[in-house]
Amino acid sequence: MVDDYEFVRMSEDLFEDFAVLAEDAFGARPSLAERMRLFDTAAWGTDYIGYLVYERATKEVAAFYGIFPCYVEYGGKRHLAAQSGSTMTHSRHRKKGLFYLAGKRTFELAKSEGIKFVYGFPNPNSYPGLMKLGWSHDGNLNSYHVFVPTLPLAYLANRFRFLEPLYRRWFQFIVGFWRTEYSPFPSSADAGTKGTVVRDKAILAYKPEGDQRVMLQVGDDTVWINRLHGRIGLGDVAMKDGPVNFARTLRALKLFCFLTGCFHLRTYVSPDSRLDRLFKGLGYRSRKGIAICHMDLDSGLPLEEFHYVYADFDTF
């Protein structure tokens, strides 16, 4: 069955095939700008770490497995790592082992490019495949969901697409009262002894400011948020005076949600990270979130000692 398929390293020439596959797998076709941004990882010294899979007989694109480089820091030293993302299989080619086969090739390529380990947060559908590839399951994220009573403007705009342009203008109007310079800040997950994703200019260029992602100035704190599927996601918080103002910052975020018509504020954090402790200190109860998984290629690092926040997701 393997001979029925061809594995081709991802390249800019294959962007159209990637879009066709994404439309079948996820029901949405990424724009050319989105595809160019997703694979623009040259800032980390390597790019196009992944494979598209084609059925030889029909030339139909059948699957994709890819990872996206980034820097992480542990013990004061910087290391090249990568995040798993956008892995998908065409509906007509599932249950044929393509996930496994493309994954093995991708990790061999990643190791040859100097990537030390890969991290990811798999959904229940992709989790079994990662375990077969030899990933480790190093705990689960905690998720926090804050309900804000308000008019469901964001929900309606997400449900009825003709309302989206009107809502986007309203959202940007409210953002204007809080917007601050889009600039890097350290991960709040860093507790001195934990590993974190490096939050530098390269990451901000990779996750640029726009209609769906912005930084807000809330008192003395800087808050990185996104707007996705009618919800506000709390990516991370830079706390100038430590945790003492977090209650005030959260109240301001709830006001922001109220004014923008977003009744759902959510975030995902590693257990016992700074934001996890702050939410618990305010009486919020966490839900058990998705798995934190790693594929160690050549790191020698205690990967279970890495902490993550929602801003580290490829979907943020």
Confidence of residue 243 (pLDDT cuts 50, 70, 90): low
Token digits for 272? 């016992």
Residues 97-151 have pLDDT tens digits of 999 999 999 999 999 999 999 999 998 888 998 999 999 999 999 999 999 999 9
Q: What is the pLDDT of residue 89?
A: 92
The dihedrals phi and psi of 144, each to the nearest 5 degrees, come to -125, 135
The pLDDT, as a whole number, for residue 27 is 83
- List the structure tokens of 153: 């403007």
Q: Which top CATH class is 2-68+86-112?
A: alpha beta
Q: What is the pLDDT of residue 93?
A: 92
Q: Domain coordinates of the chain in residue numbers?
A: 2-68+86-112, 142-287
- 2-68+86-112 and 142-287: identical CATH topology: yes
Dump pLDDT digits (tens) for 175-210: 999 999 999 998 998 756 789 999 999 999 999 998
Res. 249: pLDDT tops 70: yes
Predicted confidence at residue 33, as pLDDT, reads 86
Q: Which fold has domain 142-287?
A: Aminopeptidase (3.40.630)
pLDDT digits over 297-312, tens only?
A: 989 999 999 999 999 9
pLDDT digits (tens, 9 = 90+) for 52-84: 999 999 999 999 999 999 999 998 899 999 999
For the chain, the average pLDDT equals 93
pLDDT tens figures, 270-292: 999 999 999 999 999 999 999 99
| Cα–Cα dist 130/136, whole Å | 9
- The closest alpha carbon to 40, from 187, 202, 200, belongs to 202
Specify the pLDDT at position 242: 62
Question: Closest Cα partner for 130 from 114, 116, 113, 118?
Answer: 118
Residue 1 has pLDDT above 70, yes or no: no
pLDDT tops 90 at residue 163: yes
Please give the full DSSP string across 132-195, using - where no structure is assigned. HHT-EEEEEEEEEEEE--S--HHHHHHHSGGGHHHHHHHHHHHHTTTB--------TT--SSSB
What pLDDT score does 236 carry?
A: 96
pLDDT value for 244: 67
